[in-house]
Amino acid sequence: MNPKESLSKETYGYQMCLYQNFWCPKFSLEPVIALQRDFQACDTDIFVINMPKTGTTWFKSLLFSLFNRSNEGLLNTQLQTHNPHELILSLEITIYAKDKNPDLTKMPSPRLFSTHLPYDSLPESVKNSKCKIIYITRNPFDTFVSSWHYYSKLENVDNNVGCSSTMEEYFNKFCKGRSLYGPFFDHLMGYWKESLERPKKVLFLKYEDLKEDGVLQMKKVAEFVGFPFSIEEEKQGVVEDLIKLCSIESLKEMEVNKKGKCDPDFENKCFFRKGVVGDAANYLTPPMVERLTKIMEEKLNGSGLSF
């Protein structure tokens, strides 16, 4: 029997299989195996890593704009004409899904990539080179609600017939760690530990902090990636302009995000829903909040990390 046939299966919008202790979407399994085998990180690479629905699209727009700022300002960049997912490509969802043997050597430095892989499943060269990782997380309540809105849309896709439909069923799976690239808490704890042990290698950010003080967080990011804002830029308000340009209101209004489609299953507009902190309160019942709070407290106990 093909060893892949023996992997445990589950659905969370997409079909998933349990691979290396995380729930890998079935469509990403081959690309993940290929990139784990072949991808060679450079010391100058920068990786955006997170669980789905924790702010991938937003952070890609911020990081891309940070690197593409110039004396002429921020506006004249490809962000106006491309969805952020086309500007910082995912290793498993885009690059290795399209080509099992991509030539990435011609990409300009620093190469910017994204992945949803847990720390333990990263290619060895990513862990061992001097490349940098920026990890973004979000409180599990809003992450879950966002993921439910998004992935339950897939239920009518032909090959997903049979996946669960109610929010309660999705919630049950999320709590059991059976969501895409989950378990959620194992994923974030893997990167949290690395960020404490190797702060120059892994910068750990929270969606909520980016919302509260984007300027402070992006100055931190710019320092971390070695492209800090100059005093002149700070005086000119470049950091504030960057935050404004990448706000959900601004990205939603861009033509490419209103009408485009860079993912076979989703229109670009699906990447931008509410973009607020605390939306989960509008959906989760008190027992649901209690259950997830208890899991969160157990998983994060003693880590120094909280939401």
Nearest residue to ligand A3P on Cβ basis? 275
Report in angstroms how near the CB of residue 50 gets to ligand A3P at its nearest.
6
Beta carbons of 180 and 16 less than 8 angstroms apart: yes
Taking a C-beta distance cutoff of 8 angstroms, is the pair 26, 15 a contact? yes
- Catalytic pick among 82, 85, 116, 187: 116
Q: Which residues sit at the interface with ligand A3P, rule CB under 6 A?
A: 52-58, 142, 146, 149, 246-248, 251, 271-275, 279
Annotated catalytic, 116?
yes
Q: Which is nearer to ligand A3P, 28 or 146 (CB)?
A: 146
| Residue-wise DSSP of 7-42 | S-EEEESEEEEEETTEEEEGGGHHHHHHHHHH----
CB atoms within 10 A of CB 271: 24
- From the list 224, 210, 195, the residue with the least C-alpha distance to 305 is 195
Query: Nearest distance from residue 64's CB to ligand A3P, in Å?
Result: 12
Which residue lies nearer to ligand A3P by CB, 34 or 181? 181
Both structure tokens of 111: 């190469």
Q: How far is the CB of 83 from ligand A3P (least distance, A)?
A: 10
Residue pair 143/275 in contact by the 8 Å Cβ criterion: no
Q: Give the residue among 248, 247, 246, 223 at the shortest CA–CA distance from 233.
A: 223
Amino acid at 286: P
CB of 32 to ligand A3P, least distance (A): 18
The residues that are catalytic are 116
